[in-house]
Amino acid sequence: MKISVRASRKGRFEQWPLAHAILLGTLKLLLFLQGAAIVLPHGAAHVAVLVLLWILSYPVIHYGMCRTCVYYGRRCPVPGEGNLVHRLFDKRESSPGLAAWSLVGLCYLMRLGYPLLFLIGPHTRPAWWHGAFYVFSIVVFFLVLTRVIGCPYCTRYACPLNPDYPTRAGDSSA
């Protein structure tokens, strides 16, 4: 049995169905609420830092990845990301490179990393199951994004997460 990082092709969308955006939006909201619950016992200032990090992460991913997306300006499966980028940045026609992928990593580190500090750091830790559920939710979010909803339907052939990447690398047309 071959295990691959890329999902199997399920089809292609010109615009994602609203149900996909609702599912990923719900998972994102769950991650935020879990992160807030982890940092809240340490004070409201930590919740404010978490909110600020989430807010600041949007321009990071918009500049890094969303402005190069073939779905620029249309509904995105991840609410708040691709469908808002046209209000902040002009479209960039080139394929995302190492810098763009680095900014995606920074974006999700900003969103998800701060509560992780409270799970592994010298602070008073929440119950083990709270941390386990937070990590489990992160894994589920990325699996749903890359294996179920996002990548199996994407038309950006030059993306390494796209199922068609090896066969049509460099071709960004649909």
Residue 82 has pLDDT above 60, yes or no: yes
DSSP designation for 136: H
* Signed CA dihedral, 119, 123, 127, 130: sign only: negative
pLDDT recorded at residue 170: 47
Chain segment 111-127, per-residue pLDDT in tens: 999 998 888 766 666 67
Residue 62 in any domain: the answer is: yes
- The per-residue pLDDT for range 128-158, each reduced to its tens digit, is 777 888 889 999 988 888 777 776 677 777 7
- The whole-model pTM stands at 0.78
Residue 70 lies in a domain: yes
Interval 51-73: pLDDT, tens: 999 999 988 888 888 888 877 87
**For a pLDDT cut of 70, what percent of the chain falls above it?**
80
Could you tell me which residues come within 8 angstroms of residue 149 by beta carbon, excluding any fewer than 6 positions away?
Answer: 16, 20, 23, 24, 77
Backbone angles phi, psi at 2, to 5 degrees: -90, 125
- Whether residue 29 is contained in a domain is answered as yes
Name the residue range of residue 99's domain. Answer: 18-168
Q: How many domains does the chain have?
A: 1
